Chains A and B, each alone.
Chain A
Amino acid sequence: DIVMTQSPDSLAVSLGERATINCKASQSVLHSSNNKNYLAWYQQKPGQPPKLLIYWASTRGSGVPDRFSGSGSGTDFTLTISGLQAEDVALYYCHQYLTVPITFGQGTRLDIK
């Protein structure tokens, strides 16, 4: 199984500042046949289901604000939220879909400082 490890477990950022969440895979999630990284990011607010933010490591989902961006390749990935807004307080999960079992990171809690 591919183990996904996020860092930090939690962070607090001031409104308007940048938040950065890291995700490391235990093996590469880059598929050689199409040179795509099989990595997605989700946001989960309290009492709500997860919401897709990013897929293919850097493609924003439908309706996702452009302050959310994803980067990285192979085993190391980053979710960046530029210009943090109060509504961004949530848990964030990375997710690999290269192989079954599909696996998620343990989650990163983002709060306002």
Chain B
Amino acid sequence: EVQVVESGGGLVQPGGSLRLSCAASGFTFRNYAMTWVRQAPGKGLEWVSAITSGGNTYYTDSVKGRFTISRDISKNTVYLQMSSLRAEDTAMYYCAKEQTWAVPHWPDSWGQGTLVTVSS
């Protein structure tokens, strides 16, 4: 069974940093792209970042230069390093497995999410 489990969320002050982790299991991790999507409280879905199986990375404009996505094949884990955090980054962050090795495609398995709150 495919599983993705996010961790690392929490309360952080504006300007601070946080690293989210996403542990994957139940599929051959190295063969698939992975994606982060966020959802602000009461709002819709917003794609944040993705990484292909080969390590190519993609970001939405609002996080470029502040967020970094990476993956550790040996640990079946993808990371989202977030810095210079702003109040508008407050959201539930979902990690999802893409349907194939490339980006973009459709995320077909999602985690339960980890909540990031940026507030003083």
Write the residues of chain A forming the contact surface with B, with a CB cutoff of 8 angstroms. 38, 40, 42, 44, 48-52, 55, 61, 93, 95, 97-107
Contacts and interface: CB of A to CB of B under 8 A. Distances in A.
A104 B113 contact: no
A51 B112 CA distance: 11
B114 to A, nearest CB: 11
Contacts of A44: 45
Interface in B37-55: 37, 44-47, 50
A107 B40 CA distance: 13
Contact of A40 (B35, B37, B50, B106): B106
A4 to B, nearest CB: 10
A46 B18 CA distance: 26
A64 to B, nearest CB: 11
A36 to B, nearest CB: 11
Contacts of A102: 35, 47, 50, 104
A104 B46 contact: yes
A38 B102 CA distance: 14
A107 B106 contact: no
A58 B99 CA distance: 16
Nearest to A40: B106
A52 B107 contact: yes
A98 B47 CA distance: 13
Interface in B1-50: 35, 37, 44-47, 50
B103 A93 contact: no
A50 B108 contact: no
A99 B104 CA distance: 6
B58 interface: yes
